[in-house]
């Protein structure tokens, strides 16, 4: 059963935002303030965000996909490779206008917890933040991946159900034999 999320559930949470666009960061901050977030820190570069993470603890991090100096995914990699177990498990919400399959798979495989598609709305922010903080997926630690379990299904009741696919997959040979040469007539 999903935990009900209301504005009161966020009052003691500390959020870090990494976005070099002050306007977009301001919009996200304003939305988070509506939810009575206890503490919100804004950073405009990956280096600033890393320093903030080294000096304070946060309950969640919002990361913009493309920041001018580098890619926001660099911060995701830094967090997921941290030696500090608590820091490594911080939920990370990627804010992006790039919602193509390749972008989403890259974010997922890097260890992003949730993806928030731009343009953002208060309802989307509350839903993603609520899922990240109060309905966490199991965390995976292995040589090739560290982050929340990438398998997630949502059932008809709206509950998130973790499920491993167990049925056998059979791949068919789709390669067709070459066509015989065509006779040409002069």
pLDDT-above-70 percentage for the chain:
74
Mean pLDDT of the region 93-115: 92
What are φ and ψ of residue 62, in 5° steps? -100, 130
Is the pLDDT at 67 greater than 70, yes or no? no
Is the pLDDT at 24 greater than 90, yes or no? yes
Mean pLDDT of the chain: 82
CA distance 125 to 36: 13
Task: Indicate the pairing of strand 153-154 with strand 39-43.
Answer: unpaired
Burial of 53 (0-12, 13-18, 19+ CB in 10 A): buried
Mean pLDDT of the region 17-23: 93
CA distance 69 to 167: 45
Is the pLDDT at 162 greater than 70, yes or no? no
Residues 88-97 have pLDDT tens digits of: 999 999 999 8
Q: Which of 30-34, 127-131, 139-143 has the lowest mean pLDDT?
A: 139-143
Strands across the sheet with 114-117, in order? 39-43, 14-18, 60-64, 92-96, 114-117
* Helix, strand, coil share of the chain (percent; to 5): 35, 20, 45
Mean pLDDT of the region 40-52: 95
Q: 90 near 15, Cβ under 8 Å?
A: no
The pTM (predicted TM-score) of the whole model is 0.77
CA distance 153 to 159: 8
Burial of 175 (0-12, 13-18, 19+ CB in 10 A): exposed
Q: Look up the CATH superfamily of 7-157.
A: Response regulator (3.40.50.2300)
């Amino acid at each position: 059963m999903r935990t009900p999320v209301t504005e009161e559930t966020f009052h003691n949470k500390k959020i870090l935002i990494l976005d070099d666009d002050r306007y977009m960061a301001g919009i996200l901050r304003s939305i988070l303030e509506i939810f009575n977030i206890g503490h919100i820190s804004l950073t405009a570069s990956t280096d600033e965000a890393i320093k903030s993470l080294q000096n304070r603890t946060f309950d969640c991090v919002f990361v913009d996909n493309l920041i001018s100096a580098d890619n926001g995914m660099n911060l995701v990699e830094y967090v997921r490779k941290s030696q500090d177990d608590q820091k490594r498990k911080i939920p990370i919400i990627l804010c992006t206008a790039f919602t193509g399959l390749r972008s989403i798979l890259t974010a997922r495989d890097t260890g992003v917890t949730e993806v928030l598609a731009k343009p953002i709305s208060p309802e989307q922010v509350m839903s993603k933040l609520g899922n990240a903080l109060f309905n966490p997926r199991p965390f995976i630690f292995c040589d090739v991946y560290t982050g929340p379990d990438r398998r997630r299904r949502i059932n008809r009741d709206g509950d998130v159900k973790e499920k491993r696919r167990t049925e056998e997959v059979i791949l068919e040979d789709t390669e067709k034999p070459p066509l015989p040469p065509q006779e040409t007539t002069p």
